[in-house]
Structure 1
């Protein structure tokens, strides 16, 4: 049997003989099979004109990969060429298997790591990776102005090694304190405008944006939802005067569904979106180019970037800030205002007891808020969606 053909499953199939025998698994590493059936990992160390066999442990308690890593450490003590152990790619694969589906930013994190980290370190032995090596890799990224990227890469590399230590790949995390050498990224709030400037904002939107974009803007403003949540809205989530967004479609930190009260104004906006849509049979409230896809989450962002009025003054997320500031100046209680924005409030203990989402209170707030939006539209001498009476069932689509 060739060395490269050894796997844990094949080692498990090795049968005992009348006498003990050994099979070479890798350079200096062999598996010794005793007549009793006990299988031991043995590393051979030539030193001072003598050859010593050191037992590393038993199979299956120690698998092949871990045995290779232990043999490598043992041979390094005697400055001998060590067999291959666990690589950075192994630690990365372990991280992916645990984080896939568990963190909302998994895909973006994976793309970032593939670009800046894995391509440079994939084949490196974990034991050979040092703190200076990681610093040399990430410092140019930080110096190029991508400070947040460097910090996130460092955070994930530290996670890789923490998991590798727990899995027995390595004995310690070599970069545990490296973060001190990197400056924290500067956090700047997204640009927004005072709520009293909303008439000017509505004026620019209605003068320059097409109908589809206007409806996305108005419903984003009214609902106080995040841009990515607005474009993914489905008709089946709308029942009478309530829009219920499932937990898996909300920001990961929420981990619970979110209900948006729908006033007559909001329902009329949705009805207009349905009547003017190019894809009337689409399951999405705001479909994209294809009926099976929702609108691009950056559609409103791209519009604002291209319009000089909004440049460095307002982004779609800033509409939430406008609404929150308006509520603060109109004596809306803190908990109700935060519930309107689908924010988590209080400690885990307090949330275990307080489970209301203040729906009825928020309905009253939304009525006042949509009244303010329509006043702003009138002051801009514009016509916002009219609050006509609508048959609610027409808004649902199975």
Structure 2
């Protein structure tokens, strides 16, 4: 009778439904209470509750041990405690004498999030754990989590979402490692890979489906470049700059004016291709302009210098400035330009090609439309075919070169040599190349 006196939604759960449901999902009842059904068939009562202004989730056990009526009673009691300023999660933890995984995760993130490279990385870290780990591990005490608990989390996604599962394992391992050092658990880390989960789960490389980002075919590059230069807008300018520098999208979008040194250099050493009937048209004075990306914004975690060509400098000089923002490529309302806006430029270019009845700009192997990140692959292929040293091309892409010992001895970043390479890359994009693909300096040849 007590249950009937409580006002519930029209589609509240029934005891029969709880006993028979097997379809994965969340099934809500009332008072923040819902039944979570996992793909492996396991079920758990969970309550969403606001405790001292913060929204939390707490597990209430599993049916049939915990009936619908019992779960409702616990949910109502927990809500009452929270409304009176209490913390039912802390009370249960104190009664059990330990720290739950959810609490350990929050403490770990509070201590370590500032070390992550970007806001996007911080959100991904928390989101992955919240989505995949908390439903199973959240209410469990860290001292009680074992390998079987890890398998319940990882096995459902190990084959279908291998990269996500691999990162999830590492993040769970980090949280449990923190919990061990902080004195909340003892013994081996159940999320450890080598000699532990590696003996049960297949190696990620054996099950992951590696898909490279679709790249622009070298034969399409000059035509694509001309098409891009005909497009207006901040995102189109950012894509042009990204292409000329072979940089990552986040590096370009996060660039500030303080990272640019516009110092002028010596006259250009390259010129456009000309026939005997035409005049040689110089691209003007070369520059020693340099873009220095701080370590905090680099994937490798170390500063990176980019040699800017005259074309890249010209793009920067054409950009408007907005009061209140230091970003060179800013969004319409200020702040950083979004990644989707740059991708949208390439998507619209491809759509225009398809509308005109042409194949457009497709990856030569996958036949998928090229994307901004794939332009780095196009540059890398071009550099290899032109015979540029491997290390120089890899440094231009801000990749790690060789072993730690080799990097310790490789102190030079070949900036000036890379400046010549990037000038040749810009000339290639303009279509100014001979039959062998190399830029021809007619003035020097004369």
Offset at residue 363 of structure 1 (A): 1.4
Kept in 1, the 8 Å contact 2:220–2:361? The answer is no
Q: Per the alignment, in what secondary structure is the counterpart of residue 260 of structure 1?
A: strand
CA displacement 1:170-193 (0-9 Å, x = unmatched): 222234323542562322221113
Pick the aligned partner of 1:126 from 117, 122, 142: 142
Partner of 1:283: 326
Partner of 2:222: 199
Kept in 1, the 8 Å contact 2:228–2:240? The answer is no
Assess, with a 3 A threshold, how the Cα gap between structure 1 residues 260 and 246 changes in structure 2: closer, same or farther. closer
Partner of 1:4: none
Computing the radius of gyration from Cα coordinates, the structure with the larger value is 1
In structure 2, distance between residues paired with 1:153 and 1:182: 15
Q: Does residue 95 of structure 1 match 2:115?
A: no
Q: Does residue 233 of structure 1 match 2:250?
A: no
Partner of 1:17: none
Report matched runs for 1:169-318 at 5 Å.
Answer: 169-172=184-187, 173-176=189-192, 177-179=196-198, 180-181=200-201, 184=204, 185-206=208-229, 209-239=231-261, 240=263, 241-255=288-302, 257-274=303-320, 279=322, 282-291=325-334, 293-305=335-347, 307-308=350-351, 309-310=360-361, 312-318=368-374
Kept in 1, the 8 Å contact 2:290–2:307? The answer is yes
In structure 2, distance between residues paired with 1:280 and 1:243: 24
CA displacement 1:169-228 (0-9 Å, x = unmatched): 222223432354256232222111332220232254356x43333322211110111011
Partner of 1:117: 133
Assess, with a 3 A threshold, how the Cα gap between structure 1 residues 304 and 376 changes in structure 2: closer, same or farther. farther
Partner of 1:323: 379
In structure 2, distance between residues paired with 1:106 and 1:334: 33
In structure 2, distance between residues paired with 1:251 and 1:142: 29
CA displacement 1:122-181 (0-9 Å, x = unmatched): 2211233232233223333346x3232222212211222233333332222234323542
Q: Per the alignment, in what secondary structure is the counterpart of residue 100 of structure 1?
A: helix
Report matched runs for 1:332-343 at 5 Å.
Answer: 332-343=388-399
Kept in 2, the 8 Å contact 1:141–1:147? The answer is yes
Query: How many residues are matched?
Result: 290
RMSD, aligned CA: 2.8
Offset at residue 252 of structure 1 (A): 3.5
Q: Per the alignment, in what secondary structure is the counterpart of residue 290 of structure 2?
A: strand
CA displacement 1:7-57 (0-9 Å, x = unmatched): xxxxxxxxxxxxxxxxxxxxxxxxxxxxxxxxxxxxxxxxxxxxxxxxxxx
Partner of 1:51: none
Assess, with a 3 A threshold, how the Cα gap between structure 1 residues 249 and 302 changes in structure 2: closer, same or farther. farther
Kept in 1, the 8 Å contact 2:292–2:305? The answer is yes
Q: Does residue 156 of structure 1 match 2:174?
A: no
Kept in 2, the 8 Å contact 1:242–1:259? The answer is no
Kept in 2, the 8 Å contact 1:194–1:325? The answer is no
Kept in 1, the 8 Å contact 2:150–2:190? The answer is no
TM-score normalised per structure 2? 0.59
Extract unaligned runs of 5+ from structure 1: 1-71, 73-81, 378-398
Q: Per the alignment, in what secondary structure is the counterpart of residue 114 of structure 2?
A: coil
CA displacement 1:236-265 (0-9 Å, x = unmatched): 22222323334234324242x222222222
Assess, with a 3 A threshold, how the Cα gap between structure 1 residues 94 and 212 changes in structure 2: closer, same or farther. closer
In structure 2, distance between residues paired with 1:285 and 1:236: 9
Pick the aligned partner of 1:108 from 124, 135, 141: 124
In structure 2, distance between residues paired with 1:376 and 1:281: 40
Offset at residue 108 of structure 1 (A): 1.0
Partner of 2:418: 362
In structure 2, distance between residues paired with 1:315 and 1:167: 45
Extract unaligned runs of 5+ from structure 2: 1-92, 264-287, 352-359, 363-367, 434-446
Partner of 1:382: none
Q: Per the alignment, in what secondary structure is the counterpart of residue 294 of structure 1?
A: coil
In structure 2, distance between residues paired with 1:358 and 1:263: 15
Q: Does residue 345 of structure 1 match 2:392?
A: no
Kept in 2, the 8 Å contact 1:100–1:106? The answer is yes
